[in-house]
Amino acid sequence: MSRSPRSRVARVSTAYLLTCAAIGVAGSALLAPAWVASATLFVTVPFATVAVAGVWVLPAVIALRLLRRPGAGVLVGLISGLVLAPFFTVGSVATMLYWSFFPELPFLVTLYRRWDTWLHYAGAAVIGLTYPILAAQSFDLWSMATPVLVGFIALCVASCLAATWLGILIGDRLRAAGVASLARRRAD
């Protein structure tokens, strides 16, 4: 009996879901102390907050680089947010979905037909530029002198690019270890 193409595409393997869950939980373990540090530093040194902003993209970048499947980054972000929610707020889910969407965006734009490395960096640059602007009121961005404002945004972009580089490195190492081949198996 043959299945329709749609039913085959819609199915995912348990290994894929477990891989996403492992990345999401590991990402949460990294993000929990970063969240506390960021909240503490926000009050005194907002620059330090954007210096660590890239940590939030790490789980999604690792998942996208390793699995190369549509939605992997957002799924990992959802899992990370759900793990963090009891320790912070339910808003953790929305925060992680936000930070996971941008690494996924360049691949979505290409309809997931291309998985070039530069697309990871494009997503990092977009969130690095947009996050300070979208959070301008929180950072009181528009009261900063122009050189400080430019430095603030540049620091956020640099943080996101550095974290993306690290995520690519981790994803490539996991792929070389054979993790991706296990996760790519489809459910029968």
Of 11-20, 63-72, 102-111, minimum mean pLDDT range: 11-20
> What pLDDT is recorded for position 187?
44
Q: Greater confidence, 71 or 185?
A: 71
pLDDT at 7 over 80: no
Q: Under DSSP, is residue 166 helix (H, G, I), strand (E, B) or coil? A: helix
How long a stretch of residues is the chain?
188
Q: Which of 61-65, 89-93, 147-151 has the highest mean pLDDT?
A: 61-65
Average pLDDT over every residue of 32-59 = 88
C-alpha distances (whole Å) from 14 to each of 8, 21, 57, 184, 185 are: 14, 10, 24, 10, 9
- pLDDT tens-digit profile of 68-103? 999 999 999 999 999 999 998 899 999 999 999 999
Query: Is the distance from CB of 103 to CB of 127 less than 8 angstroms?
Result: yes
> What pLDDT is recorded for position 188?
39
Query: For the chain, which residues make up each domain, given as ranges?
Result: 5-183
User: Given phi > 0 = left and psi -120 to 50 = alpha, else beta, which region is 136?
Assistant: alpha
Ordered DSSP codes for 13-74 = -HHHHHHHHHHHHHHHHHHHHHHHHHHHHHHH-HHHHHHTGGGGGHHHHHHHHHH--TTHHH
d(CA 76, CA 74): 5
State what percent of residues in the chain have pLDDT above 90.
Answer: 63
- Residue 118: pLDDT band by 50, 70, 90 thresholds? very high
Q: What is this structure's pTM?
A: 0.88
